Every structure is written in structure tokens, then in C-alpha cells.
Amino acid sequence: MSTARIFRVAIDGPAASGKSTTAKLLAEKLSFGYIDSGAMYRAITLKCLRLGISPSDSSKATEIGKIAQATTITFPNMSSVVVDKTEDVSSEIRSSTITSNIGGVASNKSVREALAEMQRALARGDYPETFEGREGINHNGKQVKGMVMDGRDIGTVILPDAELKVFLIADAQVRAQRRYDEMVQRNKLEEGETVDKIKKELEQRDHEDTTRAVSPLKKADDAVELDTSNLTIPQQVEAIEELIRNRMDKFQ
């Protein structure tokens, strides 16, 4: 990996606000690297459940932290989340079971510390596969490599000095419908799943994310807020791309 500076885009916001889809398409359009930090917490949740450990069991907090510390999560292409260098869990981590159990993992201080270090390492280019084939964009005759990372504390904790921070928001009903449609598309809709049920789960997740003691969800002071309630995904991508290009002159 080159030692050249990387233009880092931090995209934060609540669940189902369009972060991951927008960030992934943005990275693909600009040939930037892409890191889905939320998928990392989902992967740890999956490992815990496979081991019969309830993420919400406070007596298991230390054990869950050790699981995170011993796990490697990489993004070798735009659609894969690979655990421990061998297993692609991209589809499995999107189930409602993972969604309803992730809160205990996301609020675990040891887990957040372990994944924060991994996320910063990914952003630095310590895992070259994240940037493989990602040539970046030409700006004023110079090739600029970039990285897009989305989550809930990227602009405030993980990359507080990111070149661009964007905070996405959206109405809870809109977010629930999006999540429902995504599950249908992925053929992951479980029995009894409804938009209303998903909305309640999202609102509970919002409460957990914004009130947790460790790295709560909040907008960075210098982040650009973007309401996606009435925007299509292409419109979201276009809006953030414009912000990136406007920052490129200062970056170089």
C-alpha cells in the first residue's frame, strides 16, 4: 500500500438510514476502498450466538470482548464481509436475529476498543486487499485514493480527523420500510416479520445507540447532516460525491 494520503469519508447515522448502501455505491463509483463498521459488530454478534453466548448477558462481557480481540474482519471486495480470513458471512449477519441481539455487542467497551483499532488499521491501508483495484479519482491532474467508512461513531471516535464527515438521518417509518424491503430482497424475511415490528426494533436500537455510555451515536460538530427520508439512493450518492469533490482542493 502506498504511503500517499488517503481521502477518508466518515458516514454516520442511525440504523437503516441508508449508510451502508450509500457508502458502498459511493466507494464503487469513486473507486475508493470501503469499510462497513456495522458489519463488524454484526460479525461479532454472530460469533457469540454460535457459541451460545447471549450478547446482552453482562456476566459474559469480558468473554465477548476477548472474542472481538481474537477476530479478524476484512472487506476484500465491495460485497464481502470475511471473518478470520476464510468465512464470508455477508448474508448471515443481516438477519433480524442479529439485529435484535447486536445491542449488547455494540455497547461492550472491550469490543468497541478492539474493533476501533481494526477500523483505523483498515483505514490506514494495513489490509491491502481493502484497496485492491481501488484506484481512486483524478482531481486536477492528480490521482487521489480514498476510503469510505460508515457506522455510528466514525466521525466522532474512529476518524475524528476525516477529510469529510456526513451524518445521515431519516424518518423511522421510512427506515423500517427500507429494512423490510432489504430483507425481502435478500430472502431473509423471517416468519412474523412486519414493518411495524422492524420499526419498534429500530427505535429500540436508536435508544441503545444514543444513550450508551461508550461511543454513543451523535453527529460530529463538523459533520454535514443529510436527511435521506425523501432521497433515493442515487441521490444520496450524488450529494455526498459533490461534497467530496468540493473538499478535494483543500485536501491537496
Q: 39-58 pLDDT, tens per residue?
A: 999 999 999 999 999 999 99
State how far the Cα of 15 lies from the Cα of 95, in Å rounded to an integer: 14
As a whole number, mean pLDDT of residues 7-12 equals 96
Specify the length of the chain in residues: 252
**Higher-confidence position of 118 and 126:** 118
Confidence of residue 12 (pLDDT cuts 50, 70, 90): very high
State how far the Cα of 9 lies from the Cα of 80, in Å rounded to an integer: 20
Helix (H, G, I), strand (E, B) or coil at 206: helix
Q: Is the separation of the CB atoms in 161 and 36 below 8 Å?
A: no
As a whole number, mean pLDDT of residues 60-77 equals 94
Shortest CA distance to 10 belongs to which of 224, 168, 219, 164? 164
The two beta strands, 82-83 and 73-74, are antiparallel
Q: What grid cell was written down for 82?
A: 470475511
- The hierarchical CATH code for the domain 7-251 is 3.40.50.300
Q: 76-102 pLDDT, tens per residue?
A: 887 789 999 999 999 999 888 998 999
Q: Give percent of the chain with pLDDT exceeding 90.
A: 71
Tally Cβ neighbours within 10 Å of residue 230: 9
Instruction: Please tell me the number of Cα atoms within 13 Å of 140 on its side-chain side.
Output: 8
- Look at residue 3 in the predicted model and tell me its pLDDT: 55
Shortest CA distance to 116 belongs to which of 46, 27, 44? 44
Show the 3-state SS of 35-61.
EEHHHHHHHHHHHHHHCCCCCCCHHHH
State how far the Cα of 45 lies from the Cα of 83, in Å rounded to an integer: 12
- The mean pLDDT value of the chain amounts to 92
State how far the Cα of 222 lies from the Cα of 16, in Å rounded to an integer: 22
State how far the Cα of 51 lies from the Cα of 72, in Å rounded to an integer: 17
Shortest CA distance to 167 belongs to which of 18, 32, 7, 30? 18
Listed by start position, the domains of the chain span 7-251
- Look at residue 2 in the predicted model and tell me its pLDDT: 47
- Look at residue 252 in the predicted model and tell me its pLDDT: 63
As a whole number, mean pLDDT of residues 21-50 equals 95
Confidence of residue 212 (pLDDT cuts 50, 70, 90): confident
As a whole number, mean pLDDT of residues 23-40 equals 94
